[in-house]
Amino acid sequence: DWKLVYFDRGSFVFLKDNEDNRELIDRYRISLEDFQDTAPQENLIKAKRLEAYPENYILGARFFIKVMNMPLIALAELDKAEFVNPDAYEVHQLRGYTYFKMGDYSKALESFKKAARLAPDMAESYMNLGSTYGRMGLYDEALRFYKEALSIDPRNKRVKEFIKKVEELKSYQAMSSSP
């Protein structure tokens, strides 16, 4: 078991929960259950005016969804990132991932489609669209987006595996629905 003892948007530190670390954990342990962003609103406005890349907010969102499994806080971080730079591909890609993890596939699709519009040469968006449609049981759409991802990245083994899996699912679905 690991305990969080330091966090900011750019880095975090966990300590293994054992006797050697007990004193440090007791002194520095952080709970993010009630995380409140204390950065002033002026910082967001200044970053937007400077057309800064919202890397710290993206890092924070990635930490909250992938490490801490706290999707609502991740989405709040992504809202700030989008305010700073609405055209940052990573914001929409990570927002789609967050919604996907939450099971909100329609919002995931919306975010992945926006990411694909912002960076049409990135196979990841098309892969994620394929995965989302596949999870929804819409296998023709899933295949269409997986094949688009493969056209961008022809050596991507994961996409090839996904295509094979979806084709198998379509075949099984066709067999089970026939009289």
Residue % of the chain over a pLDDT of 90: 58
Backbone angles phi, psi at 16, to 5 degrees: -65, 130
The Cα 98–Cα 86 span in angstroms is 17
Give tens-digit pLDDT for 108-160.
999 999 999 999 999 999 999 999 999 999 999 999 999 999 999 999 999 99
DSSP 19: G
The Cα 29–Cα 19 span in angstroms is 14
* Cα dist from 155 to 2, 80, 147, 152, whole Å: 37, 35, 12, 9
CA angle, residues 117, 153, 59, in degrees to nearest 5: 60
Give tens-digit pLDDT for 39-88.
667 776 776 767 666 788 898 899 889 988 889 999 999 999 999 999 99
Residue 171's pLDDT band (boundaries 50, 70, 90)? confident
At position 158, the amino acid (one-letter code) is R
pLDDT of residue 71: 95
Give tens-digit pLDDT for 7-50.
766 667 888 889 998 888 888 787 766 666 666 677 767 767 67
CA angle, residues 104, 109, 114, in degrees to nearest 5: 130
Token pair recorded at residue 53: 């890349």
Q: Which of 132, 136, 127 has its CA nearest to residue 163?
A: 127
Q: What is the rounded end-to-end Cα distance, in angstroms, of the chain? A: 52
The Cα 27–Cα 44 span in angstroms is 32
* Residue 161: pLDDT over 90: yes
Enter the pTM of the model: 0.82
